């Protein structure tokens, strides 16, 4: 079935699994990356989630583990995938479960927010692949449960997000425990000088592949701006959801955790099924929210930026930004939750007069002006004047009320996530 494609180079067990999953042809990143990874080359991949990059790196890794069998040493994985968030790690682990369903390749998903008991049990069953968040992996290494001296393949996924969250010290400590003879894969949606420096420390003579640059990626998404006074944002959100029943899966982004919970309470009062997902939620709550969203039991998922790259759900009708992000690049990751796998999608941003600076920064990033949609009952002429959007976009409907601007909101800086200071691992090499 896969003759003539890179999938045809995989072990039959993997081909059988991806056939069951409905794979027919490789995506661009899979077609470009997999042949080089099957050769054992290091790689730098500039790609966003939703491009098929998880399969691009996991299928060659699993193929290697199947073809080159070695005795299993408990607590000493042969492959390590490092992820910035619990959701992304869990999604990667689910993909491994899918791809390895016909192969005897046990794995462990090591994430915080839940008891380590089940994860340690998976390690003791002989997990050959670890998918881990830095904090939990360091905890298990410090306890002498996990060792990295036999890692043959190392993947640093979403490196730019890792740096945003303050994980750089932890990443360097983990890298210091890896063997020098290994295959290293480095993935990031952006490539700043700091990220390029980290990549240089990780890979050797890499193949570089760039897929779906940020500006072209947003062309598939119908982006709109709705100018509104800050006190009217919640009412506008409820209005849109009530008047667009065809939006069956909607992700709403809020800058702050308490803001996400407040929005969720407002929607619940309006009898709109919703769930919130952010770092204050337990892992069980986050998993249940995502599962309900995937199954259609939850219509609206309210999330903060920390969760934006861990949400890989097909058929998201619309993404709504309650506020524009302080970090402009986060806009790309937010709206990228829709228009997955080549489909189209919609993204609406609520913008106040005070957010004109963020709006201009976003438009510079995507190299286009985002049109204004005035056909909504909370349009703010004050915000329109402030943002310089007069005469742009859709005309104002005759029934729209006038006014707006809203009270001046105090700027709230988002807290950074610092790498935790911990004692040295103090590991002693042991025979497994």
Segment 411-428, tens digit of pLDDT: 333 434 344 344 455 554
Write the CA distances from 243 to 231, 302, 390, 421, integer angstroms. Answer: 20, 19, 26, 50
Q: How confident is the model at residue 55, as a pLDDT? A: 92
For the chain, domains (ranges, CATH) are 6-212 (3.40.50.300), 215-387 (3.40.50.300)
In which residue ranges of the chain is pLDDT below 50? Answer: 213-216, 394-423, 428-432
Q: How confident is the model at residue 99, as a pLDDT? A: 94
Element holding 319 (H helix, E strand): strand 318-321
Write the CA distances from 91 to 54, 56, 147, 372, integer angstroms. Answer: 9, 14, 23, 35
Name residue, tokens 């099957």. Answer: 38
Q: How confident is the model at residue 212, as a pLDDT? A: 54
Q: How confident is the model at residue 252, as a pLDDT? A: 95
Q: How confident is the model at residue 172, as a pLDDT? A: 94
Q: How confident is the model at residue 356, as a pLDDT? A: 85
Three-state SS at 124:
helix
Three-state SS at 216:
helix
User: Using the 8-state DSSP alphabet, how is residue 10 labeled?
Assistant: S
Q: How confident is the model at residue 415, as a pLDDT? A: 37
Q: How confident is the model at residue 22, as a pLDDT? A: 77
Q: How confident is the model at residue 169, as a pLDDT? A: 93
Three-state SS at 261:
helix
Q: How confident is the model at residue 362, as a pLDDT? A: 85
Q: How confident is the model at residue 304, as a pLDDT? A: 84
Q: How many whole angstroms separate alpha carbon 93 and alpha carbon 109?
A: 6
- Helices within 246-328 (DSSP H only): 257-269, 283-295
């Amino acid at each position: 079935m896969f003759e003539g494609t890179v999938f045809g180079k995989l072990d039959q067990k993997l081909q059988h699994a991806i056939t069951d999953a409905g794979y027919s042809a490789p995506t661009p990143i899979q077609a470009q990356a997999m042949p080089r990874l099957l050769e054992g080359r290091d790689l730098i991949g500039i790609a966003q989630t939703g491009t098929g990059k998880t399969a691009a790196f996991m299928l060659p890794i699993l193929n290697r583990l199947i073809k080159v069998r070695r005795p299993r040493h408990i607590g000493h994985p042969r492959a390590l995938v490092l992820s910035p968030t619990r959701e992304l790690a869990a999604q990667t682990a689910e993909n491994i479960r899918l791809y390895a369903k016909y192969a005897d390749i046990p794995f462990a998903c090591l994430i915080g927010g839940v008891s380590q008991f089940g994860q340690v049990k998976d390690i003791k069953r002989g997990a050959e692949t670890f998918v881990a968040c830095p904090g939990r992996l360091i905890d298990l290494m410090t306890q002498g449960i996990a060792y990295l001296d036999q890692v043959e393949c190392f993947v640093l996924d979403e490196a730019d997000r890792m740096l945003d969250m303050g994980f750089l010290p932890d990443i360097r400590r983990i890298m210091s425990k890896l063997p020098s003879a290994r295959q290293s894969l480095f993935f990031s949606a952006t490539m700043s000088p700091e990220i390029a420096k980290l990549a240089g420390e990780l890979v050797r003579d890499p193949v570089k592949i760039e897929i779906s640059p940020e500006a072209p990626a947003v062309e598939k998404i119908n982006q709109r701006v709705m100018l509104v006074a800050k006190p009217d944002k919640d009412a506008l959100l409820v209005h849109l959801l009530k008047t667009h029943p065809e939006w069956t899966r909607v992700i709403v982004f809020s800058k702050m955790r308490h803001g996400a919970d407040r929005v969720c309470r407002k929607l619940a009062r309006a009898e709109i099924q919703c769930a919130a997902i952010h770092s204050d939620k337990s892992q069980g709550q986050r998993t249940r929210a995502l599962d309900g969203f995937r199954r259609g039991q939850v219509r609206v998922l309210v999330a903060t930026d920390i969760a934006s790259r861990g949400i890989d759900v097909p058929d998201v009708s619309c993404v709504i930004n309650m506020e524009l992000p302080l970090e402009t690049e986060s806009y790309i990751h937010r709206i990228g939750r829709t228009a997955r796998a080549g489909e189209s999608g919609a993204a609406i941003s609520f913008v106040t007069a005070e957010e004109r600076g963020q709006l201009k920064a976003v438009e510079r990033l995507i190299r286009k002006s985002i049109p204004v949609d005035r056909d909504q009952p909370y349009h703010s002429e004050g915000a329109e004047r402030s943002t310089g959007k007069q005469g742009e976009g859709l005309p104002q409907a005759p029934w729209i009320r006038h006014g707006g601007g809203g009270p001046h909101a105090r700027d709230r800086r988002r807290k950074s996530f610092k790498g935790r200071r911990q004692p040295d691992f103090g590991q002693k090499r042991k025979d497994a």
